[in-house]
Amino acid sequence: MLMVMDTAQIAIRLPRHDLEALDDLVERGVYPSRAAAVRAGVAAISALQRRRAVDEAIVEGYRRVPPTPEEDAAALASLRAAIVEEPW
């Protein structure tokens, strides 16, 4: 099943060194085109911002409702168990 995406074309200006880096990625086959590389960059930035928003929400939640001493102890015990299981 072919999925059609709603897209829009944009024009951007890049400093010469960024354009050279972009072209290098395309020449080395990392991305098939400049457009694909730019799309991947925008997707990466968007994902990073989503993760950052979730992280900030978690921190705010812990500020509003701090963990109890029992919850802190359980978290440390879980962390210690996870470290013991590591193959270091």
- Residue 67's alpha-carbon distances to 55, 70, 71, 74, in angstroms, are 16, 8, 6, 10
Q: What is the pLDDT of residues 14-58, one digit of tens each?
A: 999 999 999 999 999 999 999 999 999 999 999 999 999 999 999
User: Quick one: pLDDT band at residue 88, thresholds 50, 70, 90?
Assistant: confident
pLDDT at 61 over 70: yes
pTM above 0.75, yes or no: no
Confidence of residue 60 (pLDDT cuts 50, 70, 90): very high
Task: Give me the pLDDT at residue 1, please.
Answer: 65
